[in-house]
Amino acid sequence: MRVLVTGGAGFIGSHAARALRGAGHTVVTLDALLPQAHADRPPGEAGVDVVCDVRDGASVERALRGVDAVCHQAAMVGLGSDFDDAPDYVGCNDLGTAVLLAAMARRGVRDIVLAGSMVVYGEGAYTCAEHGPVRPGPRAEADLDAGRFDPLCPRCGARPEPGLVGEDAPTDPRNVYAATKLAQEHLCAAWARATGGRAVSLRYHNVYGPGMPRDTPYAGVASFFRSALARGRAPRVFEDGRQRRDFVHVRDVADANAAVLAALPERPEGVLSAFNVGSGTPHTVGDLAWTLAEAHGGPDPVVTGEYRLGDVRHITASSARLTEEFGWRPRVGFDEGVREFARAEPRARAGAEAPAR
């Protein structure tokens, strides 16, 4: 199969392209090489077949010649700096996806795997001892200021127990990035209905591993911690460090893309299906910081009590559906993956120095 990987020079996209080639596919990579992720990286060094913005419809359509399927990884990621980033997020993620899908429709390409995200859920799954499954709303700023980080049962005010969120959970995006990731899914679903195409959204949880961009407000928490350690500084852990996440290694995410693309021609036409991609083993943000610091040789993390509005408290995944339908399983354990990441050379500096979170 000939596969176009958008964002093919990026953190996840480059790993996905490698996994697809390893599975015997012919891969064409497309990337805009935006400075947020690719500072001082000439096109020749990035190994990109087509250098263009995914919003450039004519260039994208040319890149789709002879292509059987698309692995759509191109996106602006993270919470960004402030709401002034909203037009950039919508432009990169939603307009870019719309332009790509329109070009696919013209070229008759009918299969796409989308890099989705767990951020579409908002808070994760919670169970109240008295009221059963509950969905806490956004946390109040006054509570965060007072160090009350855990959401409460909206019916009785008790602290519910966090659990694993499944794909059938309602979506509740809490920030601009999350809203654009959900909009990408809606666009792919509309495209599939209109064209008879097959679409899968892989809702990544917290992806980490070699090749993460460093020192940019658009990177993830693992990158912030690793960058701080590389500068000899203590990782700064927000809130109390007990917020739960599912840290999944980038090679496992790449393998998930390869597994789904191989089976995509057998999927039902005209629909989008969503699948969580996580390790299945929750860890706290503090766990990540301490494991990274220990493997790197210090300094020890500092728990700051700071917070970011728009962050959720706990979000961890059940990836059982992906395992059942595609036979995929994560292979890289937390300790193994984090220790490898601690030794890996971070990607070149991109943009202004950002605080570690």
Residues annotated as part of the active site: 177
Residue 161 half-sphere exposure toward CB, CA atoms < 13 A:
7
CA 249/CA 338 separation, integer angstroms: 9
Residue 60: closest CA among 123, 117, 109: 109
- Report CA Rg, the chain: 20
The residues facing 128 across adjacent strands are 132
Q: Which amino acid is at 46?
A: A
Collapsed DSSP state (helix, strand, coil) of residue 220: coil
Tokens 């951020």 appear where?
119
Token representation of residue 339 = 């220790």
Residues in CB range of 330: below 8 A, 6 or more apart: 248, 249, 252, 278, 279, 280, 319
CA 127 to chain centre: 26
